[in-house]
Amino acid sequence: MNKPVPVISIDGPTASGKGTVAQRVANRLGFHYLDSGALYRLTALAAQRQHIALIDEVKLANVALQLQCQFKNGHILLNGEDVSHDLRAEEVGVAASKIAVLPSLRKALVNLQLSFREAPGLVADGRDMGTVIFPDAKQKVYLTASVEARANRRYKQLIEKGFSANMEDLVKDLAERDLRDTTRATAPLLPAPGAYILDTSEMTVDQAVQVILDLYANASKLSI
């Protein structure tokens, strides 16, 4: 039997740096990359543009099922339009966090996420990559950092992208998102069984990337 395409799952809370780290790990390995959080932000943005209430689970799930998105050269397209900048707005992130608790919506996005698993491999980041979507991932990582460190990173990201930001509000928002993500009934945020817990509060991106590359190399040796 052919071996399944290898997956590295990188889960963690908002602003833990998992997106940047996952993208660089994928680049270093020549793997495909899945930003699962972007799918929820895309759904939230599409719903906002269609004036769909964030509590209308049926309509939101339908939006997710019909999502026409592409990831090209670091850009994210929705119906052919580059919405990379729009997706980073805090209001879209907050909306995505709110709709991510809806079971029907999460179910609607499963097959789309699974479709990213192509040779030679995939690095997938999100909140349930190692627990729900890719439970057979070769290497599972749970990337975390203190709320203060994450708020500081998010503040810098927003300012660099031209958005206004307030540190106090960011800390409060991150704490609220953490609570929603860890207590939701469907696919709550938690480390996958056997996941390596990586606290990046005092680490650079390059250091975190190297840790994960080393973990994957060791996992690959053990599976031979």
Structure tokens belonging to residue 204: 């650079």
Encode pLDDT of 59-68 as tens digits.
999 999 999 9
CA distances from 191 to 50, 98, 160, 218 (A): 35, 21, 31, 20
Tally of domains in the chain:
1
Is residue 172 one of the residues assigned to a domain?
A: yes
Encode pLDDT of 1-19 as tens digits.
467 899 999 999 988 999 9
Residue 222 has pLDDT above 90, yes or no: no
Is residue 58 one of the residues assigned to a domain?
A: yes
Confidence at residue 2, expressed as pLDDT on a 0 to 100 scale: 66
Phi, psi dihedrals of residue 128, rounded to the nearest 5°:
-140, 25
The mean pLDDT of 171-196, rounded to a whole number, is 90
Encode pLDDT of 140-180 as tens digits.
999 999 999 999 988 988 888 888 889 999 999 999 989 98
Lowest mean pLDDT among 74-83, 101-110, 157-166: 157-166
- Structural domain for 25, as ranges: 7-223
Is residue 37 one of the residues assigned to a domain?
A: yes
Confidence at residue 97, expressed as pLDDT on a 0 to 100 scale: 87
Q: What is the CATH number of the domain that holds 211?
A: 3.40.50.300
Q: What percent of the chain has pLDDT over 90?
A: 73
Is residue 63 one of the residues assigned to a domain?
A: yes
Is residue 1 one of the residues assigned to a domain?
A: no
Cα torsion at 117, 100, 102, 67 (round to 10°)? -50
Residues 51/181, Cβ–Cβ less than 8 Å: no
The whole model's pTM is what?
Answer: 0.88
Is residue 32 one of the residues assigned to a domain?
A: yes
C-alpha–C-alpha distance, residues 16 and 18, integer Å: 6
Is residue 114 one of the residues assigned to a domain?
A: yes
Is residue 2 one of the residues assigned to a domain?
A: no
